[in-house]
């Protein structure tokens, strides 16, 4: 079974921008969101993924991800709850870890979240000065919840 162990943080300042090594635009929607799981579609350039994630247990959850044809994904996005999640993802490498900073646009404009994936829940990592409050277990920051309760309406 595939697992994802992820920690999420708000940003303390804009210093991270000088460290960015890559970026890309993501558009994603949710075909299903239940208390037990979510089914997400994500489009990144000419690639599309269908992802099933279980409910979080702390910072761990099951994750199953499959590439699907881009044309199918574009049509399936029309079946998703709106607003769709739109964001630019920036990547920064610090030590052996890759930080991903999501800068949301559209209905979630103004929200910035940094994420780091870990191999274990106890794994240590360097926390840069630009990383602020941890929101890993705050459901308001789950992308699936940002569809129903966009950041601009908080």
Is 30 considered catalytic here?
yes
Give the pLDDT band of residue 3 (cuts 50, 70, 90). confident
Q: Which of 30, 90, 141, 142 is catalytic?
A: 30
List, in order, residues 6 or more apart from 75 with CB less than 8 Å away. none
The rounded mean pLDDT for the chain is 96
Domain boundaries, the chain: 3-153
Class of domain 3-153: mainly beta
Q: For the CA atoms of 54, 57, 59, 61, what is the dihedral angle to 10 degrees?
A: -20
pLDDT, position 29: 97
Average pLDDT over residues 114-128: 96
């Amino acid at each position: 079974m595939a697992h994802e162990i992820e920690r999420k943080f708000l940003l303390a300042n804009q210093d991270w921008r000088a460290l960015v090594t890559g970026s890309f635009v993501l558009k994603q929607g949710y075909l299903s969101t239940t208390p037990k799981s979510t089914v997400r579609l994500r489009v990144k350039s000419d690639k599309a993924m269908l992802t099933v994630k279980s409910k979080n247990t702390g910072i761990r959850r099951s994750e199953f991800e499959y590439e699907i044809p881009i044309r199918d994904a574009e049509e399936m996005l029309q079946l998703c709850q709106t607003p769709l999640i739109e964001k630019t993802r920036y990547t920064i490498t610090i030590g052996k870890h890759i930080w991903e900073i999501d800068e949301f646009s559209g209905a979630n404009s103004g929200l910035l979240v940094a994420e780091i994936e870990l191999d274990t829940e106890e794994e240590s990592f360097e926390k840069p000065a630009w990383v602020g409050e941890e929101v890993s277990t705050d459901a308001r920051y789950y992308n699936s919840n940002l569809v129903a309760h966009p950041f601009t309406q908080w």
